Structure 1
Amino acid sequence: MKQASRFMPRYKPGKANKPALFAFLAIALAVVIYQPWFLAVIAGIAALVIVWSAIDQPKVERHFIELCKERDGLSICEFAREFDPKVVDTWVIRAVYEQVQAALPTKQSVPIKASDTLFDVLKLDEDDLDLDLVEEIAQRTGRSLDGHKNNPYYGKITTPQKLVLFFNHQARANANAT
């Protein structure tokens, strides 16, 4: 019998690839030494990002505070009820719920709905989904991303519900990949 999802291991970030990190830093240092104007450009871009974040973050926080008020009393239980546990792996449900919640650009613990749009309601970037979130969920669920292009939900993930269904079908996509 499969272990209950509440006993699923937490996400453990991988260690940085030291040779790649060293090479990146060496290249960055060489660019700064041989192209000093580039440092000014990078500093200007960094300043713009910091100013924009300082202006935009209070709006984002207000959005999530309102979501929390609207969803008072909701939890992972309501999210899980959107799926048939005989068809959808409960580990996938929990991993998606917890990792999406952790990826939100707020410190608020926002209850997630299966129908939320990842990019509009939950304010996630597509890069967050592609680079971090999918890897974290794959690690927690023990699912491989091999053959992900054969998955019927590939390229169609816009909600947590579709993310759950993507990972639920991922085992089948792996079988089709070989």
Structure 2
Amino acid sequence: MNDDTPAAAALARAVERRDATDAEAKALASSIRIRILRLCLDEGLSNREIAEATGLNPATSLHHVRMLADTGFLAAQEVRRGKRGSREIPYLATGKSWFLNTGDMTTEMLEAFTAEFTAAPYEERTLGRMAAMLTEDEVEEFRSRIDELFEEFRSRRKKPGATQWGLFIAMHPSDPHDR
């Protein structure tokens, strides 16, 4: 088998995953901090810019930024001058969260998604919902294909003319009596 196949990449990712430490899990247990990581994914943002984008006051934003930086989810970039000549430190997401098992973060993920989704212009939102009848093998195939698609597009970073789009996929058994 060729080591460049999507299946090989998925296996490599699975091997790289590890359980989050208590501090890492606590850092990610906030919808605001999850949103901050997405905001800083492709572009370093200062605490002021993060506060403006999230609607937080700068002191509250700084608390979240420091927690993410202290646990390695954000990395401080080179100091720059802000709007009024003030010294600003931009922060960039490290991508570390992609490789951690953090336990059940359903509420935080849904809250972060809802805040981001409702903030987007209505005309640009896409929402779909479906029910599919799947065997156990088909469930695994579906999950694997979603993982491969996520990984393919996650690995594409900022490029000229590209705009960041958020994507949220959730999957669950619809009827507990069918299990």
Normalising to structure 1: TM-score of the pair? 0.23
Which structure's residues are more often strand, by fraction? 2
| TM-score (normalizing by structure 2) | 0.23
Structure number having the greater helix percentage: 1
Determine which structure has more spread, i.e. the larger CA radius of gyration. Answer: 1
